[in-house]
Amino acid sequence: MIKAVFIDYTGTLMQEQSEYAMQMAAMIAKNSDLTNIKDIFKIWWGLIKKFETDSYADQYLTEDEILTRAIAVLKQEHGLTIDTECFRSLAHKFWSKSPIFEDVKEFFSKCRQPIYIITNNGSEYVNVFLQDHDLHCAGIICGDMVKAYKPHKELFEKALEISGCNARETLHIGDSVASDVRGAQSMGINACLLDRTMTHSEQQPDSCFVCSSLTEVLPLLETI
């Protein structure tokens, strides 16, 4: 029986395709040798993921520190010349003010189990998002709390500790196979891949639920 729901933030509750993301990409395009927006997003997110992967324990970097490192790489490798603080301000808005997915409010209102948000982003940004949309959760577990990012087990261990549940009593929902599904399953937590476009379902590990919307998850919570 599922007693608590763990859920991802970026890409699951908050849309990555936002005006702030586009403004960040446009700033890079205007002030570097990178001009193709698609290439910029690929390079940028590749840098962020690399730094998150390498950031652990004594080598842990906050999201702001990772942002600074990624900007430094673009300056060195692509001649980027920008006002770092202006770019950082856009990133903060991206983390907290990007649009909500349409199915999120219904899920929060109908879910009978307590919801815990597990995120690489700082809790201060998630809290702004929740307040803006009048959403309430039982807790936020972020990378800063354990000096690790998903899929490292520490975030999921902390979520289990805070929720007071064992792994089989929880379900983690997220849009990333590598970070969300495999991270949760490494701890024995039930995992649901949220694939709104149904383009990643073939990558799913064994014993993983796949849903195209958060509302599809609701019946699962009563049957697992």
Residue pair 24/37 in contact by the 8 Å Cβ criterion: no
Query: Are the C-beta atoms of residues 9 and 197 closer than 8 Å to each other?
Result: no
pLDDT at residue 201 above 80? no
Predicted local distance difference test score (pLDDT) of residue 218: 97
Confidence label for 203 from pLDDT (cuts 50, 70 and 90)? low
Of 78, 95, 81, residue with least CA distance to 11? 95
CA distances from 47 to 69, 70, 71, 162, 204 (A): 9, 6, 9, 31, 24
Question: Tell me, what's the pLDDT at 116?
Answer: 98
Convert the pLDDT of each residue in 65-114 to its tens digit. 999 999 999 999 999 999 999 999 999 999 999 999 999 999 999 999 99
Residue 66 has a CB neighbour count (10 Å cut-off) of: 22
Reply yes or no on whether the pLDDT at 167 is more than 80: yes
Q: What is the pLDDT of residue 103?
A: 97
- Other Cβ atoms less than 10 A from the Cβ of 85: the count is 7
Cis peptide before 219, with omega less than 30 degrees from 0?
no
Tens of pLDDT, residues 5-50? 999 999 999 999 999 999 999 999 999 999 999 999 999 999 999 9
